Copies of this chain bind each other. A is one copy, B any other.
Amino acid sequence: MLNERMLDLGKRSSVIREIFEYGNKRRAEIGAENVFDFSLGNPSVPCPPAFNETLKQFLDTVPAESLHGYTSGPGDLAVRKAVAADISAKFGVDAPFDLVYMTCGAAASLCITLNALAEEGDEVIAFAPFFPEYRVFTETTPAKLVVVPCKSSDLQLDFDALEKAITPHTKALILNSPNNPSGVIVPEADVVRLAALLNEKQAAYGTDIFLIADEPYRPLVYTGEPVPYLPRYYDNTVVCYSFSKALSLPGERIGYIFVSPACKAARDVFAAVCGAGRALGYVCAPSLMQYAVARHLDDTADIHIYEKNRTMLYNGLCEIGYSVIKPDGAFYMFVRSPEPDAGAFCEKAKQYDLLLVPSDSFGMPGFVRIAYCVKPEMIERALPAFEKLFREYR
């Protein structure tokens, strides 16, 4: 009587959400300050104050029927031009405004792009660990998801595994750097190698393979090194961006898709993006937020807090004895579970009111994800609990 897949997706609540609900229960029982909830990637840092000032200025000065009116389907023209100019200035690539499509956030960007590209029989490659909704989004298209695990030593790309996974059916790869859930950034040398491999496979198979750059965490980097901008390295690239994490606006659902003009038949790729936007009901991203982000393309929320958290948490956990993959970006840390079953480890952690996410849901067992986009005080107070937990394994 209902669509079985949708019913199943709706009933199967995500692991992260279950932990979050458990956290709500515990907060009510013992007080919020005693629950060390590292489960959610909800930024703890406010948006730049100037952003809210911009919103108020628009509300005061722009006629309401135009401020809240429909923009054109792919977004407001001036906004698209501003985004394109920003891409061009920041990354030194050609960025025509009419290859920019404003979207309702990162999930929308990915869903639209995947639906624009995927046909029956296609394969889309994701690198584990990966954001679990990649599977949901991909399986909504006619394509199937192929998972290529990263090297468990450093969670970097495993080129041997990747080479074997690319087939004549490979339509796209999703690369998420800085990565959720690991915080790992793919270094330039690996991007170059990836581009060479994809070019080689395209030539060998006579196919087109698209690289989908999912990069909501691009500005959240702590190494001082820029994250390689994929359109500079590989022609068939589509960038999916969201302002959620950079400007701390996750609830506002605003982002964009940029089809690199170097893509084969780039205008057709963009037309397919427009078509998928229509088919999924996504034309015209939220107008007020479109106008506002266009004024804050160079701003970010105060990410120093995340940087401070990262240092404190990484050093603290290493001192205790945990084995941690040092994150270079985003606000997630991947820690090896001291026992093989990360789920069992997370259950033990709950006894210390430490709420962690087992890595199985990210397609790679044996780790836990710690979302450190929290108040620094929480990390300070959580470290003794992490220590007690670790003692159980000595």
Cβ-closest chain B residue relative to A103:
B281
**Which of these binds chain B: A25-33, A56-64, A317-325, A329-337?**
A56-64
Bitwise, A95-126 to B at CB < 8 A (1) or not (0) is 00000000011011011100111110000000
A349 within 8 A of B: no
Bitwise, A270-301 to B at CB < 8 A (1) or not (0) is 11111111111111111111000000000000
**Distance (Å) between the CB of A373 and the closest chain B CB?**
10
Note all chain B residues with C-beta closer than 8 A to A104: 104, 253, 281-282, 286
**Which of these binds chain B: A43-51, A182-190, A351-359, A362-370?**
A43-51
A394 within 8 A of B: no
A43 near B17: Cβ-Cβ < 8 Å: no
Note all chain B residues with C-beta closer than 8 A to A152: none
Q: Which of A9, A56, A110 gathers the greatest number of chain B CB atoms within 10 Å? A: A9
Known interface pairs A1-B265, A42-B70, A52-B59. Does A6 touch B286 (Cβ–Cβ under 8 Å)?
A: no
Q: This chain: how many copies in the complex?
A: 2
How many A residues have CB within 8 A of the partner chain? Answer: 86
Please measure, in the bound complex, the distance between the C-alpha atom of A5 and the C-alpha atom of B276, giving whole angstroms.
9
Task: Say which residue of B67, B68, B70, B248 sits within 8 Å of A65 (CB atoms).
Answer: B248
**Which of these binds chain B: A81-89, A132-140, A213-221?**
A132-140
A208 within 8 A of B: yes
Please measure, in the bound complex, the distance between the C-alpha atom of A45 and the C-alpha atom of B66, giving whole angstroms.
10
A73 within 8 A of B: yes
A272 near B69: Cβ-Cβ < 8 Å: no
Cβ-closest chain B residue relative to A289:
B286
Please measure, in the bound complex, the distance between the C-alpha atom of A265 and the C-alpha atom of B17, giving whole angstroms.
24
Note all chain B residues with C-beta closer than 8 A to A63: 46
A163 within 8 A of B: no
A204 within 8 A of B: no
A6 near B276: Cβ-Cβ < 8 Å: yes
Task: Say which residue of B68, B250, B272, B286 sits within 8 Å of A47 (CB atoms).
Answer: B68
A10 within 8 A of B: yes
Note all chain B residues with C-beta closer than 8 A to A55: 55, 59
Known interface pairs A47-B64, A281-B108. Does A42 touch B59 (Cβ–Cβ under 8 Å)?
A: no
Task: Say which residue of B59, B139, B275 sits within 8 Å of A5 (CB atoms).
Answer: B275
Known interface pairs A10-B271, A65-B44. Does A136 touch B4 (Cβ–Cβ under 8 Å)?
A: no
Known interface pairs A111-B281, A280-B281, A281-B107. Does A251 touch B69 (Cβ–Cβ under 8 Å)?
A: yes
Task: Say which residue of B273, B275, B288 sits within 8 Å of A251 (CB atoms).
Answer: B288
Note all chain B residues with C-beta closer than 8 A to A67: 251
A286 near B286: Cβ-Cβ < 8 Å: yes
A391 within 8 A of B: no
* 11 sampled A-B residue pairs with Cβ under 8 A: A46-B64, A56-B60, A70-B251, A104-B253, A133-B278, A136-B278, A140-B280, A251-B287, A252-B286, A253-B285, A280-B281
Other than the known A3-B276, A10-B116, A40-B70, what 8 A-B pairs have Cβ atoms closer than 8 Å?
A1-B265, A2-B117, A2-B269, A3-B119, A10-B273, A46-B65, A139-B279, A251-B284
**3 cross-chain pairs, A with B, having the tightest CB-CB distances, nearest first:** A251-B287, A10-B275, A9-B275
